[in-house]
Amino acid sequence: MVSEADIRSGMPLKELQPIFIFLAVVLLLLSASCSRRTVPADAVHGKSGRSAGGVLIKTSEFTLIIPDVSLSQSETKQLEQFINAGIGLSVASNKATPEDIIRTARGYLGVPHCMGGTTAKCMDCSGLIFRIFARHGITLPHNSEEQARYGRIITEKKMLMPGDLVFFVRTYSSSRLITHSGIFIGEDRFIHTSSGKGVTITPLNDPYWKERYLFGTRIFE
């Protein structure tokens, strides 16, 4: 360290420069450390509660912030486990476009709901996505939570583009976190299979779906 006596004794400026640089780096690191502490402790550890601020998930590889969702502590833990098990998987698009997917999806409007269904006779939410993508040579699982592993996660609802998949929680009692899926078609609307209406188009800001929205994924880049 540089003492006042060293400065008074006339230590050359050139010799002092490395010491000043070292002190500046230490101060910078301390400042960064303090700034990280401004993140709520609950959020850092995945205990977001049901706050309007969203959820912050930290893994060994990255930090994921999802602003448009409110999860309980146990749901946040489930989300962390889901992410650690693998997300962002790639899938061949086989030259299909978002417009192709949406056009095909509209052709199923009015098809009734049935659990496990994947045909024009009846289908569930993941069955609709499974069938639509299969018609364009794209293989996705017939399960909403597993479908959510494919494509790039879109954490902000305002960044969704037509053709993106959208995922929801708490739509029925299940041990799984993600229980519903649909296809974003633009203008804040998505097409999906509703248990009451069958294949239908619904606003994302509908109170029921807004409360349960989790994130989107982008298959087509």
List strands edge to edge, sheet with 189-194: 152-154, 213-218, 165-169, 178-186, 189-194, 198-203
Determine whether 113 is an active site residue. no
CB 85 within 8 A of CB 134: no
Q: Which of 122, 125, 136, 142 is catalytic?
A: 125
- Determine how many CB atoms are found less than 10 A away from the CB of residue 217: 22
Determine whether 125 is an active site residue. yes
Burial of 118 (0-12, 13-18, 19+ CB in 10 A): middle
Instruction: Enter the tokens of residue 9.
Output: 């004794």
Strands (DSSP E) found in the chain: 55-58, 63-66, 152-154, 165-169, 178-186, 189-194, 198-203, 213-218
Q: Which of 45, 114, 136, 192 is catalytic?
A: 192
Determine whether 192 is an active site residue. yes
- Using only C-alpha atoms, the chain has a radius of gyration, in whole angstroms, of 25
Residues belonging to the active site: 125, 180, 192
